[in-house]
Structures are given as C-alpha cells and as structure tokens.
C-alpha cells in the first residue's frame, strides 16, 4: 500500500471483510501480509521487491506509486489495484476493457470528476476567482488531474496557482506562499495529501482557505467539502477481483471497472469556523453533513 495504516486501515478492513464473505477468511483460508509505504515511493519499491521474492499468490495495491512499483517488480504475480486515479493515462494498463498483463482493478475516475468538483465548489463559494491546487508534483496521476483543473479554470479566465510539493515538509511553505494570493484550495487526493490530511486542514483553516477534496476521509479530518467515489465501496469491489483471480481467472482478462457510488460531503463545523454559509440547496444534495 502507498498509504499509511492510520489513514487506510478501515479501507483495508472493508476489503478483508468482503474477502471473508467470499470464503477467504484471514488466518484460515488465506494469509495476508501487510506492508505500508506511507507515501514514500522508494519504500513502495522495496515492498514490491520483497513480495516478488516471497512469490506471493497476489499483490493488492492502492495508488499509482505502489501499483507501478509492483508492476516493475513482477510480471508473473497478479496485481489488483483497489484505487488508481488514471490507470490508462499513467500507462499501468493498455485499456480499461482489456488491461492485459498481470494487472487489473478499479479506476478512481478523478480526472473526469474535476469539472463536477469545481462546479460544486463554485456553488459553495460564489464569486470564486483565484484557486490554489495542492498535489504531489512527482506523482503522475495527480498531475493529470492538476492539468485538467488548470485547463478548466483558465477556460473560465480564472486564476490558478499550483506550488511545487514533493514531500510533507513542503506543505507549510506551500500554504504560506498561497496566503493572500488565492481564495480557496483544490486538494488532489494522493498518498501524500491523504497521509497529511490533518496538517493540511489545520494549515488551510489558519490561512482562512476553504478546501475541496476528492474523498470523504479528508473532510472528516477538517476539509470543507469533497466529491468523489466511495473508497470503502471500491475496496470491497477489489476483493471480488482478488477472489476471481485466486480461483483461476487471469488478471489481464478482467476489465478495469469504474466507480458506481459517489458521495458529496460537507463539513459544517469547518464552514462555521471560516464564516461561510453553505447554500441550503447544496446541503440538500449532500450524502453526508458533518455537524
């Protein structure tokens, strides 16, 4: 996993629970080895190499860095990615319908949702003109979404700033550089942003910057709002891939699927702290409201 146990243990639990429903009971009918890269690309490569040496029956991953590391480590062991932002655009699979090779899983469809997120953000913040984007600069998936957001904003003749962020130590200086120059933040969901979500929320609140995210977990940590796929649902569906592969279906024969369950979540505690009033029409459409 690219992530950390503190941020993703509940999601992994959803996968393990679904495996149990399918007959793969941990400790009885299947043994699961857990490793966490905690957002560090070099650690992901070490984990993938270790699993290749162990000759495990299957590798389950989350995010582009760990999935890419697993693909580079082995072409023989099946790989199931629970969440990847753009598996075709980043070259992980040949196509969604026919991934080929030893990889398959679930696409987050984040790039396609950028426009919807900006639309919802505009409803919450009418008159928004200047936006800051937070994303990890050396992670190709998030940068595809950054380019999409930049294109959408510039088409509307709105200003967008994207500071260079490569590690957690860059976050505080990045937020400081945006203070007074932007009116809100668009945070691209990636391993670094997820593992740093509490810090990001605190920094954004201190800078008086409302934030839009791609997953509920970051709003639970204090972000203003999110719109995106249900991550627990995707992890449960990843278990179905694991089941099919362990029962003999080649990974490359299983089409990459896209999200079917989406959530709009609003944090009213954060809105009050920022002095914002969220329109009732937006709240009425929310799947989750944090009071």
- Segments forming the whole domain that contains residue 184: 110-228+263-290
- Tokens 């609140």 correspond to 205
Domain count, the chain: 2
Looking at the structure, do residues 145 and 163 belong to the same domain, yes or no?
Answer: yes
Looking at the structure, do residues 42 and 124 belong to the same domain, yes or no?
Answer: no
Query: What is the pLDDT at residue 105?
Result: 98
Query: What is the pLDDT at residue 7?
Result: 54
- In angstroms, rounded to a whole number, what is the distance separating the alpha carbons of residues 208 and 181? 12
* pLDDT for 253 beyond 70: yes
Looking at the structure, do residues 102 and 40 belong to the same domain, yes or no?
Answer: yes
* pLDDT for 99 beyond 70: yes
DSSP string, the chain: --S-HHHHHHHHHHHHHHHHHTT--BTTTB-------TT-HHHHHHHHHHHHHHT-S-EEE-SHHHHHHHHHH-SSS-EEEEEES-TTTTTSSS-SS---TTEEEEE--HHHHHHHHHHHHHHHSTT--EEEEE--TT-HHHHHHHHHHHHHHHHTT-EEE-----SGGGHHHHHHHHTTT-SEEEEPP-HHHHHTHHHHHHHHHHTT--EEESSHHHHHTT-SEEEEE-HHHHHHHHHHHHHHHHTT--GGGSPPB----EEEEEEHHHHHHHT----HHHHHH-SEEE-
Looking at the structure, do residues 136 and 216 belong to the same domain, yes or no?
Answer: yes
| Segment 19-48, tens digit of pLDDT | 999 999 999 999 999 998 876 778 899 999
Query: What CATH number is given to the structural domain containing 180?
Result: 3.40.50.2300
Encoding tokens for residue 11? 């999601």
Q: Which residues, including other chains, have CB under 8 Å from residue 43's CB and lie 6 or more apart?
A: 37
Looking at the structure, do residues 83 and 180 belong to the same domain, yes or no?
Answer: no
Looking at the structure, do residues 70 and 92 belong to the same domain, yes or no?
Answer: yes
Query: What is the pLDDT at residue 4?
Result: 57
Encoding tokens for residue 108? 């987050």
**In Å, what is the CA distance from 250 to each residue of 29, 80, 169, 177?**
20, 11, 41, 49
Q: Model's pTM, two decimal places?
A: 0.81
Query: What is the pLDDT at residue 282?
Result: 97
* pLDDT for 68 beyond 60: yes
What would the mean pLDDT of 189-207 be, rounded to a whole number?
91
282 vs 42, residue with greater confidence: 282
Looking at the structure, do residues 70 and 185 belong to the same domain, yes or no?
Answer: no
* pLDDT for 12 beyond 70: yes
Nearest to 114 by CA among 162, 153, 149: 149
Looking at the structure, do residues 44 and 165 belong to the same domain, yes or no?
Answer: no
Q: What rounded mean pLDDT belongs to the chain?
A: 92
What would the mean pLDDT of 127-133 be, rounded to a whole number?
95
* pLDDT for 121 beyond 80: yes
Looking at the structure, do residues 125 and 210 belong to the same domain, yes or no?
Answer: yes
What would the mean pLDDT of 273-287 be, rounded to a whole number?
97
Looking at the structure, do residues 243 and 277 belong to the same domain, yes or no?
Answer: no
Q: Nearest-5° angle of CA 156, CA 162, CA 168?
A: 150
Q: Given pLDDT bands bounded at 50, 70 and 90, which one contains residue 257?
A: very high
Task: Check if the beta carbon of residue 141 is closer than 8 Å to that of residue 86.
Answer: yes
Handedness of CA 258, 260, 261, 263 (dihedral sign): positive
Query: What is the pLDDT at residue 278?
Result: 97
pLDDT > 70 in the chain, percent: 96
Looking at the structure, do residues 103 and 118 belong to the same domain, yes or no?
Answer: no
Looking at the structure, do residues 181 and 64 belong to the same domain, yes or no?
Answer: no
Query: What is the pLDDT at residue 38?
Result: 76
């Amino acid at each position: 996993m690219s992530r950390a146990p503190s941020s993703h243990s509940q999601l992994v639990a959803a996968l393990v629970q679904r495996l149990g429903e399918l007959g793969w009971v941990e400790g009885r009918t299947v043994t699961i080895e857990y490793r966490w890269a905690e957002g560090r690309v070099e650690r992901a490569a070490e984990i993938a190499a270790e699993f290749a040496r162990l000759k495990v029956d299957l590798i389950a991953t989350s995010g582009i860095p760990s999935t890419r590391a697993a693909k580079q480590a082995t072409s023989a062991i099946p790989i199931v990615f629970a969440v990847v932002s753009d598996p075709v655009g980043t070259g992980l699979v040949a196509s969604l319908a026919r991934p080929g090779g030893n990889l398959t899983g679930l696409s987050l469809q984040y790039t396609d949702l950028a426009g919807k997120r900006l639309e919802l953000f505009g409803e919450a913040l009418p008159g928004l003109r200047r936006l800051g984007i937070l994303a990890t600069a050396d992670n190709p998936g998030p940068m595809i979404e950054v380019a999409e957001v930049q294109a959408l904003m510039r088409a509307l003749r709105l200003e967008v700033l994207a500071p260079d962020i490569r590690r957690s130590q860059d976050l505080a200086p990045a937020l400081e550089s945006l203070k007074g120059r932007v009116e809100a933040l668009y945070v691209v969901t990636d391993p670094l942003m997820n593992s740093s979500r509490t810090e990001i929320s605190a920094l954004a609140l201190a800078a008086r910057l409302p934030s839009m995210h791609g997953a509920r977990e970051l709003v639970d940590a204090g972000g203003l709002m999110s719109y995106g796929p249900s991550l627990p649902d995707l992890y449960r569906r990843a278990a179905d891939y694991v089941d099919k592969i362990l029962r003999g279906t080649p990974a490359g024969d299983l089409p990459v699927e896209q999200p079917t369950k989406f959530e709009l979540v609003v944090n009213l505690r954060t809105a009050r702290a920022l002095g914002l009033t969220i329109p009732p029409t937006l709240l009425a459409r929310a799947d989750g409201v944090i009071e």
